[in-house]
Amino acid sequence: MSHAGGGLETLRRSASPGTLKRKRDARLSPSTTTKSIKLHNTLSSSTSRQPSSDRVDANKQYRSPDSDEAHPSDSGDTSRGIDSSPPKQRSPTYAQSASAMATLNGAPHASASDRTPEPPMTQKERPQMLPPPGKAKGYRVVWDPELDGKLSKEERKRATLRKRDFGTEIYEPDPPPDPRLAIPGYMSGQCRAKDRPSKAIWRPAPYNLPLYKIDRYSVGPGEAQQVMVMGFDPFLPDATLRLNFSTFGSVASVQHKTDPDTGSFLGIALVKFRDGYRDGIECNAVESAKRAENEFNGSRIGLHTIRVEVDREGRKFKRHVESALRKARDERAKQRKASIAPATVSDEVVRPTNDSPAPPLNAPKGPSGKLSKPLGSTAPAVKPPEGPRGTAAAPSNPRSSSGPLIEVDLVLPKLKRKPYIHIPHASVPVLGTTIPHLKKRLKAYDWREVRLDKTGYYVIFEDSKRGEDETERCYNECNMAALFTYKMGMECQKYGNPDYERSPSPERVMVEKQNREHFERLKLEDELDLEIEKKNRAANLDPVQGALEQLRIELRERIMGDIKTRIAIPIFHDTLDPAKHLSKRRKLGLPDPSDNDNKGTSLLFNKAGDTSPHTPRGRHGYPLPHAKPLRPHDPNNRRDRRVDYERERIPANAFVDERRRRPAPGPSRHARGLHFRLQQMFDEEENSDDEGRTSLTRDTEDQESRPLSRTSRNSTPFDNESVTETPKHKRRKVTDWEEDEKEIFDGLQKQLLGHLLHKEPEDLATRELELVVNTLPRSSKYASRAKTELFIRQRSKADDDLFNVKSEKNDYVASFIDDVEMAGRDQERTPAPGIDVKAVREKAKKKRKTKKQILEEQEALQAGAREAKAASKPIAQETVTQIEVKELELEAVEELAHADVTWAVTHDKPRRTVEDDRHLVLDVDGWQDIIKDNEDLAFARRALAEDAAYDIGDVKLWAWKQKEIKALNSGALGPVRSETGIDGYYVANSTGSARTEGFKKILNEEKSKYLPHRIKVQKAREELQARLAANPDAVVETVKITAAEKMASTATSRSNRVNNRRLVNDINLQKQNMATVNSDADVAIRFNQLKKRRKLVKFDRSAIHGWGLYAEENIAQNDMIIEYVGEKVRQKVADLREVRYEKQGVGSSYLFRMMDDEIVDATKKGGIARFINHSCNPNCTAKIIKVEGTPRIVIYGLKDIGKNDELTYDYKFEREYGSTDRIPCLCGSANCKGFLN
Amino acid sequence: MSITAIPERPGRSPKRKRSEDSPNGGIPQYDGATDGAALQYAYDEEMPSELQSPEEQELDGAPAKKQKVERPTRLNYVPYMTLRGHKRGVAAVKFSPDGRWIASCSADATIKIWDSKTGALAHTLEGHLAGISTIAWSPDSKVLASGSDDKIIRLWDISTGKCTAAPLIGHHNYVYSLAFSPKGNMLVSGSYDEAVFLWDVRTARIMRSLPAHSDPVSGVDFVRDGTLVASCSSDGLIRIWDTSTGQCLKTLVHEDNAPVTSVRFSPNGRFVLAATLDSCVRLWNYVEGRVVKTYQGHKNEKFSISTAFGTYGVEDDKPAEVDGDEEEQKRDWAFAACGSEDGRTVLWDVSSKEILQELKGHDGVVLSVDVGLEDQTIITCGNDKTIKMWKRQPLPVTNGTNGTNGTNGNHEPSATEPTAGTLDEG
């Protein structure tokens, strides 16, 4: 079914009787709405006639054969789903819905007029089984050629069936008599057959079913147990009301509503009964409520006739309250308006106009005349919604309040469709007192109510046919009849307010109202937020802050701008400079427009030792080895690193020294495959800008291309030195460094590093670099940079050594020894770099040796090491022991290395064969990981040779155990990057374990470091203090906020409910007590308070001292929390006990001084209130109140206390300044005085 | 409450007195302080009965026969072997419940399992990152729990020497004491973080946390049926907890409020033996919350020294002295043992408070004592890194001289109680 079909369905349904609402629903749902519009548009032109709806329905139900023929497109269209033009018969439905649409679209009158002539009964007509009169019901064959034997075959074929329609004749058949009427006694209900009792009675008219009885099987709320009472004096005390109603049964509660805005009583109450015993007789709450309604409705309380209605679920009550509130609100609004324009009011008083509620001058001076005048002048100010208040104000005039007074707002718009008769003020003056007379006058007619506003009287009738008739009758008979001296010029509106446009359905009204309310609420909240915001701003209005904020914003903008214009743009410009891409161009074989210019420089470069791969090689096409370190190395270039890393992760390559395999010089660069070049290119491009540049450009552009912001750094030793003293290539390197740093550098480290980099003697620099490496934290960026630099230097030096370019071996060895020493010194922490350096260096050195030589050397070294070890006797140096371990492990490692290492030479830039993970923890696994082969081992051994070996017995076993322990505790096998240790708080015992250490008193500060509950509080406290120190205002602010939060939290619904319940119970109890023993009421209340108003509390460990008491619910300010219970003793006894307790070591004092000589001792016998700790910023207070003549200690909330907050009060000890035994206070509040006494 | 803290006067043999008075609840007349006597009576009535076999209990009711049994006033444990191997002080030593093994834990973060017969080292359990203060055997002797300064409790499989997969992690400071429940399903641990945790051994989770004390918990123990847990702390309190509800049933405080360093239920479960740092070991009737006995004579002011119960009887090789009645020969008495900071280990008779023997041999503190199966062996360990095993020997027949046995340094009683010695000999 297409969408149109769906729409049809909906509409068809909407045509069913009595579904105005559903129709609206359909209209409201967007898809059908649009559809119906469309349908209407397509159809409205063709359908001008409006057949009655029963006809439509009939057609819908019944399809005559020719109706099929008449609308062949019907089903087809719907099934095809294109531009569905539905059957024409349905048009009225669509028209109707379309008119409803029109209502929405702003032409409401049309629909109203459309609807009014439509009799409502037609809607209720059921679809007919029979076709409408006048249509053929069928046909009868009168002659069939096939059956005619006389005809020949030919003729038979040719001849057509002769048929005759029937049912076309219109006649009014008498409906067949109801067969049931034949049953004797059917009409009288006496027809039941004897054998089966039947309830079938002929009902000629609908009748009301009796209300269902609520019995024990019924679900839902039971019968009403409460009555709504209104009309009484709002100032009537609850007690009186209760008393009144308690004659019918025991009253559970009286809920007398107040206006939430003004707090005034509305005079509407809900009285709830409960099952109970009265005078020994059981009285049912339901019965009570019923009785109250029956007997009390219409009777009086005081001078007021009250209305009592059973109200099962309090809905009536709610409704009335709502209306009363609305009225009150309107009134207030009016009053406000009136006060704004008092002039007009006074005008009206002087010269009562038509609009004035005041009576005309010629009006009879009724009994309320006096009243109405002030009423007029002060207008609605005194007018209470229900009138009773007015009486309270003027009790001498009860009658004036008995009926409704002149309504402030016009009645007419409220009347809607109710039939009414209007008596304009012109014919009968508007006077509240007239109403009773008028009522009396019209008592022959069945009116519902008489209302009065300034335009006149409205006699309102029932909203039904009967009401309409009644209206007409009244009009006919009473129009222009006399009322006192006036003539009632009536205006009959039996169809209700002529101007009334049918209001939207109640549902929609509701929805709209809800929406509006929602919207208003949102608005209100927004406003509130704004208010709070404003208040907050006002509270911490700090012009300096504001200015700072402003400045900050501006500065940021400026800085961003500067960065853009001064840094970013030059860099971009730089990068795009064609001169910089020479090398690339050359590599790609692109002609260079300025080739000639650059040739010289590049040549120059080669001499200077530029090592970029695409520049001409040194000997054998090799990069000049000593020039390597001059390559800008960017340790921060992650991509580059990753590439390296990945290369090394291939296991086969793990220990590769590429140079070993092919000691002969590799083929020169140009002979390599193209793919290689490609790779080169990528490598190059992956590098940073700097690498793409030639050093010359760097040199030349160095000064001016450096961003201005760097000038500040010129003050560091960095540049001053380098520019003046260092040779050119060194200076370049410096710039590299500088260029590399994009981040702001830690001053000291930077200086240190910078300083080192420019050390003239290489060895010194290297050594100091190592120092840097060792001192800096491993994770530091600078450390890694320094390491890199160190490595580069060392490698270059090693290479130099190898080729005897610069220094002799002696130097090298000396520095090496230094290294070793240093490594030994802080080997506990960072032995890695030293070892690594050595290993690498060693490799470089041995590059040219044959394998055999290597082995020989290793063996020699090992032997030496062994000797050394043997010589040195066990001294506790744990790291040394690891040499032995390494030996073993390295055997295995070596085997592995020999087995699958493929030797190769690096052809591009030199790479490390192994990337040492400097974050490894150097336990057994770590060593194993970091020492890759025999030379590493040899050097490690040499490094540790000075330290004596530890006696660890079986090395393998020892190593295995170490690993096991580590695996057990860290949960990981293999090398780890974090030290396996004890998490959290741990202080090692000097003897090894707690038990061998013996007992020591643990100080509180120490305990605060590991006791969980203390840590929590301690943290909070420290945070607070830190913030206090940093920014006192902010803390105050946060304190405020938390206080506000707490305030909010205390107002949770649950606590409200609890409080309400408590309150009600209390009131009840108090009342009962008052009733019985009036004299002791006060005592009773206090006693009750102590007993009943206790809050839920619990005790738990406290950070302040030992145990503490905690709230288990939100406690409001000034609420009683708990009573301090204990033995009451005299001062002397207390003193004795105190001494005794102290001796016994009862760590806490539970003595509470109540009076001078009365002390409550809760130590041995007492309640948990004794656990409440002291705080200098308490949230509770202890009060001593007298109950039954004896003083009691009661703890009250000093502020709102949130759930799980610790309760504290100020112990108020006497201050003992200078005393030796002052008790330190640990309350942790911001204003802590430090001591309790 | 006044408990006589004065050591028993020489010459009085409470045992004898009891055997005269105890039948059927007569109040002893001969004791100095009346309440002290009552206590003693109460104790005498209850205490040894559990340590005896049922038939002996029946015999208890027959005073006439019992009179003939003389309680030995001395014990004769001699050094049997010394186990060395720990690199630092040995914090605790325990016999396995089946008597086969001795487990010792040390500040060097290792646990060693020794064969109790031969003294051979069976396993060295390593895995803790810090010194180990306490160990506990599971009742089936297959699992050993150890509590270390690294805040972790580990369970070790004795057969493999491996740590079970899941350590018990949850304490916030050093784990200081441990005890297995008699069924082996629960473990109670006391820690420096002032908490007592009940662990479910199988799941390695905390079942219950008992907010117990305001100072480090120095000792915990399970009663023999597992329904109660005792904990003690250096805040001076001993608390008795209901295992199932976690409620504190009783708090025992002595007036002096000295830090309590170890707590142990008596084998019959009616008493609690607690060592305090005022150099006293007290026996509490925890139901009534009073001290029944106070044992003194050792030095304990700093270290947490564990205590042990044992029984002793008249040796088989001296049947003549006790009338030759076989059942009478099996008559057992209880003794309590505790180490001392001067290197001794002191054994007291539980009811008379007499010092039965002082085992000398350690240098420095004796941290832990345990009495083996059949009470024939005692093991002690101390800060001198050694574990010593003592074997019971028949009392020397020599007349009242102590010099015969170098280790038997029971000077005090022997010097003042020559009669006791003679009594032994009949």
> pLDDT of B59-92, one tens digit each?
344 344 444 567 778 888 889 899 998 988 999 9
B92 contact A CB<8A: yes
- Considering only CB atoms, which chain A residues are within 8 Å of B257? 1143-1145
Quickly count helices (H) and strands (E) in chain B: 7, 29
User: B70 — phi, psi (to 5°)?
Assistant: -105, 135
- pLDDT band at residue B264, thresholds of 50, 70 and 90? very high
- Among A99-103, A1009-1013, B174-178, which is the least confidently predicted range? A99-103
H helices of A81-136, in order, are 91-105, 108-115, 120-124
d(CA A1173, CA A1105): 7
The two three-digit tokens of residue B359, written as one number: 């085992």
CB contact at 8 A, B163 and B127: yes
- Mean pLDDT for chain B overall: 76
Closest-CA distance of chain B to residue A1001, Å: 9
Structure token pair of residue A741: 């740093």
User: A807, A797 in Cβ contact below 8 A?
Assistant: yes
Query: Quick one: which of B308, B425, B317, B307 has its CA closest to B375?
Result: B308
Q: Choose among B130, B163, B236: nearest Cβ to A993.
A: B130
C-beta separation of A1166 from A1155 below 8 A = no
For residue A1007, the chain B residues in CB contact (below 8 A) are: 194
Report ipTM (2 d.p.).
0.71
Residues 6+ apart with CB under 8 A from A465: none
- d(Cα A930, Cα A923) in Å, to the nearest integer? 10
Residue with tokens 């990057």: A977
Three-state SS string across A162-204, please?
Answer: EEEEECCCCCCCCCCCCHHHHCCCCCCCCCCCCCCCCCCCCCC
Dist. CA B212–CA B195, nearest whole Å:
6
Q: Cα separations (Å) of A418 from A412, A447, A500, A501, A510?
A: 10, 11, 10, 12, 21
- CA-CA distances (angstroms) from residue A299 to A283, A296, A399, A728, A976? 22, 5, 16, 116, 92
Select from B192, B239, B299 the residue whose CB has the most chain A CBs within 10 Å, as the one to mutate to test that interface: B192
A476 pLDDT higher than 50: yes
Residue A355 has pLDDT above 70, yes or no: no
Using one digit for the tens of pLDDT, what is the confidence trace for A609-642?
A: 333 444 444 344 444 444 344 444 444 444 444 4
| A1171: pLDDT strictly greater than 80 | yes
**Contact call for A1145 and B173, based on CB within 8 A:** no
Distance in Å, alpha carbon of B139 to nearest chain A alpha carbon: 24
Q: What is the mean pLDDT of chain A?
A: 64
In the predicted model, what is the mean pLDDT of residues A1116-1136?
86
- pTM for the whole structure: 0.42
Residues with Cβ within 8 Å of residue A158, at least 6 apart in sequence: none
Please name the residue of chain B whose CA is at the shortest distance from the CA of residue A993. Answer: B131
Note the pLDDT tens digit of each residue in B114-169: 998 888 998 888 888 889 999 999 999 889 999 998 888 999 998 888 888 788 88
Distance CA A154, CA A161 (A): 14
Task: Look at B149 and A988 and tell me if their CB atoms are within 8 Å.
Answer: yes
Q: What torsion, rounded to 10 degrees, do the Cα atoms A426, A431, A436, A441 define?
A: -20
CA distance B186 to B204: 10
Q: How far is A920 from chain B (nearest CA, A)?
A: 19
Tell me which chain A residues have a C-beta less than 8 angstroms from the C-beta of B239: none
Half-sphere exposure of A245 (CA within 13 A, CB side): 37
pLDDT band at A688 (very low <50, low <70, confident <90, very high): very low
pLDDT at B146: 92
Binary contact (A991, B89; C-beta < 8 A): yes
List all residues of chain B from 325 to 354 with a beta carbon under 8 Å from chain A. none
Residue B169 host element (H or E): strand B168-169
Residues of A in contact with B133 (CB under 8 A): 993-996
**Among candidates B173, B303, B383 on the partner chain, residue whose Cβ is nearest the Cβ of A999:** B303
Give A1091's Cβ-side CA count (13 Å radius). 11
pLDDT value at A1016 more than 60: yes
Facing A1145 at nearest CB: one of B108, B194, B257? B257
Q: CB-based contacts of A439: which residues, under 8 Å, 6+ apart?
A: A447, A450
CB atoms within 10 A of CB A604: 13
Distance from CA of B257 to the nearest CA of A (A): 6
Residue bearing the bigger pLDDT, B122 or A537: B122
Report whether A646 contacts A630 (CB < 8 A).
no
CB nearest to A999's CB, from B130, B211, B302: B302
Q: Is B314 exposed, middle or buried (0-12, 13-18, 19+ CB in 10 A)?
A: buried
User: Does the beta-carbon distance from A1010 to B108 stay under 8 Å?
Assistant: no
Taking CB atoms and an 8 Å limit, are B173 and A991 in contact across chains?
no
Q: Provide the token pair at B87.
A: 């690199």
Which of A30, A62, A205 lies closest to A131, judged by CA?
Answer: A62
**Whether A991 and B134 lie within 8 Å, measured CB to CB:** no
CA A476 to chain centre: 67
Residue of A nearest to B153 (CA): A969
Minimal CA separation from A962 to chain B, in Å: 9
Q: What is the pLDDT of residue A1030?
A: 72
Contact criterion met (CB < 8 Å) for B235 and A980: no
One-letter identity of residue A828: E
Per-residue pLDDT tens for A291-337?
888 888 888 777 788 888 888 778 888 888 888 888 888 888 888 88
A163 half-sphere exposure, CB direction, 13 A CA radius: 10
pLDDT value at B41 more than 70: no
pLDDT at residue number A385 = 43
Helix (H) or strand (E) holding B294: strand B290-295
Contact B132, B154 (CB under 8 A): no
The β-bridge partners of B79 are B390
Distance CA A1041, CA A580 (A): 60
**β partners of residue A1109:** A1099, A1207
Q: What dihedral angle (degrees, nearest 10) is formed by the CA atoms of A1175, A1181, A1182, A1187?
A: -170
Whole-angstrom distance, CA of residue B154 vs CA of residue B135:
9
The B205-211 sheet, strands edge to edge: B175-180, B186-191, B195-200, B205-211
Tokens 């009016």 locate to A334
Which chain A residues touch B91 with a CB distance below 8 Å?
A: 993, 995-996
> What sign for the dihedral angle of Cα A676, A679, A685, A691?
negative
Q: Side chain identity at B25, as an amino acid letter?
A: G
Rg (CA), chain B: 21
Which of these, A1111, A1118, A1121, A1119, lies nearest to A1202 by C-alpha position? Answer: A1111
Q: Is B384 on the interface with A (CB under 8 A)?
A: no
Can you give the pLDDT at residue A553? 92
The pLDDT value given to residue A118: 44
Q: Is B220 on the interface with A (CB under 8 A)?
A: no
Q: Which residues numbered 132-191 in B keep a CB inside 8 Å of some CB on A?
A: 132-134, 148-151, 163, 172-174, 176
**What is the β-pairing status of strands A1173-1174 and A1206-1209?**
parallel
Are the beta carbons of B356 and B347 closer than 8 angstroms?
yes
- pLDDT band at A253; cut points 50, 70, 90: confident
Q: Mean pLDDT across the stretch B230-242?
A: 89
For tokens 């029971």, what's the residue? B410
Q: How far apart are CA A323 and CA A385, in angstroms?
A: 9
Neighbouring residues of A444: CB distance < 8 A, sequence distance ≥ 6: none
Among A376-390, A990-1004, B187-201, the range of highest mean pLDDT: B187-201
Domain boundaries, chain B: 52-390
Task: Compute how many other C-beta atoms are within 10 angstroms of the C-beta atom of residue A282.
Answer: 10
User: Closest Cα of chain B to A1040: distance in Å?
Assistant: 34
In terms of Cα–Cα distance, which of A303, A304, A305, A273 is closest to A291?
A273
Buried b (16+ CB within 10 A) or exposed e, B254-275: beebbbbbbbbbbebebbbbbb
User: What fold does the segment set B52-390 form as a domain?
Assistant: Methylamine Dehydrogenase; Chain H (2.130.10)
